[in-house]
Structure 1
Amino acid sequence: MQPFRSVLRALRSAGSSFPAKAVVAALVLALPGRTARADIGIISPAEAKKLIEADDPAKRPIVLDTRGGYKDYFRGHLPTAHHLNFDTLRGTDNGVPVQYLPDDLTKALLVRAGVNKDRLHLIYATGEKLPNDEILSASMVAYVLEKYGVKDIRIVDGGLPAWKAAKLPVTQEYFGNPKGALPEKGNPDIALTVDDVLKRKPGAVLVDARPHNEYVGDDEIWLRKGHIPGAISFHWARLMEADNTHQFLPFEKVKAQLAAAGLTADKEILVYCGTSREGSLLRFYLKHVAKYPNVRLYEGSWKEYAALKQHPAETKENKPK
């Protein structure tokens, strides 16, 4: 009862102006044994370790190693980590490579990986200096889980390097999750189609998360050069620590940069990149670290748009409005 009494004392000191709903919420928060609400965000390696080693197996998280290199998984991974190669969730569709798979195939892969509507999911990959971009596999898988209705997801901040730097245990033992169970209702509204992008509302911010050289068409990668007309440029790596691309910078450190780019919480923000991985990272940060309310991802991204030659492209730099 001690937490209850502490809350009551605080409420009495606040006076009668304290809203009734807030009183109820505060009392519920103080209940002993109350579990934390489901959320999507980041978690420190130390806290992740505590959860993985929970006494009650039913309360342990589903741990997903999302790295594309299976030999990396063999060399060492977090205890109880199940390998879910991010790229198994994509394939060529109508000639366009790395498109997201149909719902039935995706659901089957997630269920086989043990994704469970009632469990917390810890997702990680590798983080090193650029050009290492393995964090994008973690944010992409987090996006897919969120799209299919999973509400409790954390990316391990700093990834495997931060885990090792903290001298936490690594194993080579395989770990197979039992068959999962997805939520009945997904969250498809976080995804955008090309038509959604083309018909976007006035005032919506379209942002390209690729490196700036690709944004302006100085590359040897893409079928067409440049970007979607009206898009601004904000490279995803600006949100990460320079010496560990898996470690997120605190929002206060990047808030001014985001605002200068026109990326503020009051805007509707539409994100894309090359294949949607970079965009998934930018969206994850804006939505789940910065807590912006309205951020969605164009899944087809530039690799799809570049093939739709009926739609224009541009190479000029667009300034934030």
Structure 2
Amino acid sequence: MPFDFKAFVGACCIINCSVCFGQIGIIAPQEARELIEQSGSDQGVAVLDTRGGYKDYFRGHISKAHHINFGTLRGTDHGVPVQYLPDDLTAALLSRAGVDKNRALLVYATGDVLPNDEILSATMVAYVLEKFGVKNIRVIDGGLAEWQKNGLPTTQEYFGNPPGELPKTMNKRIGIDLNELLKRKDQPNVVLVDARPHNEYVGDDDIWVRKGHIPGAINFHWARLMEADNTHKFLPMTTVKDELKSAGLTPDKEIIVYCGTSREGSLLRFYLAHVAKYPNVRLYEGSWKEYASLKQYPAETKEN
């Protein structure tokens, strides 16, 4: 069946639509290309290359892709590194990148082979877009590697989206701060899940100021949701459903995800909310980097 561009863009223009989950998800590279070719960036579609390495953008990128380094959306706050910027600064950066209430956003990076994990940059930016009220977001499945594998063209020509106007209403409920996390995490129907690799979860690392995880958290590494030969490409829900169920990650639960700095957690949240269609998944933005710095709160290294 051919990609229905008119139907998609029509849906993109319904700003206050109540069916948000159906408008955020993944898109195959060929469908993304058709969408880009059939729409001007001033109306309909904007493409965001979220890679942290600007030289990677210079080497080659998708046509009409505006480079927005994911790292520019975060900075040190009260001594804690990579905290999300204040809303007014973030809004200015998003507007300059062409994020607009009437545009669908196509987001991608590389990260097809670990340890390059820039797929996490794409889902982190998608999270920020969703928090700022954008309702039409697609992560290009497989990223730039899958795009090139499909024989689709790239360019070295720079491209800048025209400035955008953000939605008036934010969707902050998709995130959770530390105070609310401490109130919610031990409730009977809540599952707290750490998306980091297992060694970091149990404290076998040289990264963090304190070792281990938030008490009560289970571990589910984000890479378990991705294809082995392209970690920018999402596994279908039918493949991972049993794994999620075995971990206690089921749609009837209230699920709170976190990781080291929120990028890994953003991918786990994106999958559960927009691929698996779970109704109640939130991201603890401060994640372990914030929690570990607050030594009045306990940490544990035992398995849950």
Q: TM-score, normalised by structure 2?
A: 0.92
> Partners of 1:276 and 1:55 in 2: how far apart?
32
Query: Greater share of strand residues, 1 or 2?
Result: 2
SS in 2 for 1:199: helix
Residues 252-288 of structure 1: per-residue CA shift (max 9 Å, x gap): 0000000000000000000000000000000000000
Matched ranges for 1:64-143 at <5 A: 64-143=48-127
- 1:229 and 2:203 are equivalent in the alignment: no
SS in 1 for 2:61: coil
> Partners of 1:256 and 1:92 in 2: how far apart?
39
> Partners of 1:47 and 1:164 in 2: how far apart?
14
Residues 129-180 of structure 1: per-residue CA shift (max 9 Å, x gap): 2212010000000000000000000000000000000110100000011111
Task: Name the residue aligned to 2:195.
Answer: 209
CA contact 2:43–2:102 (8 Å) conserved in 1: no
**From 183, 186, 191, the counterpart of 1:199:** 183
> Partners of 2:275 and 2:59 in 1: how far apart?
31
> Partners of 2:226 and 2:177 in 1: how far apart?
27
Residues 26-81 of structure 1: per-residue CA shift (max 9 Å, x gap): xxxxxxx6555341000000000000100666554100000000000000000000
| Distance change >3 Å, CA 56–CA 176, structure 1 → 2 | closer
| Distance change >3 Å, CA 55–CA 132, structure 1 → 2 | closer
Matched ranges for 1:147-166 at <5 A: 147-166=131-150
Letter in 2 for 1:260: S
Bigger Cα displacement from structure 2, 226-235 vs 187-196: 187-196
Q: Once superposed, which parts of structure 1, at least 4 consecutive aligned residues long, lie more than 4 Å away?
A: 33-36, 55-60
Task: Name the residue aligned to 2:15.
Answer: none
> Partners of 1:222 and 1:57 in 2: how far apart?
41
> Partners of 1:56 and 1:127 in 2: how far apart?
28
| Distance change >3 Å, CA 135–CA 56, structure 1 → 2 | closer
Structure 2, unaligned stretches of length 5 or more? 1-5, 13-22
Letter in 1 for 2:291: Y
Task: Name the residue aligned to 1:266.
Answer: 252
Residues 95-139 of structure 1: per-residue CA shift (max 9 Å, x gap): 000000000100000011010010100000003222120100000
CA contact 2:42–2:162 (8 Å) conserved in 1: no
SS in 2 for 1:142: helix
Instruction: Determine what percentage of the aligned residue pairs are the same residue.
Output: 72
> Partners of 1:282 and 1:261 in 2: how far apart?
13
* Largest Rg, 1 or 2: 1
Task: Name the residue aligned to 2:204.
Answer: 218
Structure 1, unaligned stretches of length 5 or more? 1-32
SS in 2 for 1:123: strand
**From 40, 62, 67, the counterpart of 2:24:** 40
CA contact 1:127–1:247 (8 Å) conserved in 2: no
Q: Would you say how many aligned residue pairs link Structure 1 and Structure 2?
A: 286
> Partners of 1:104 and 1:271 in 2: how far apart?
25
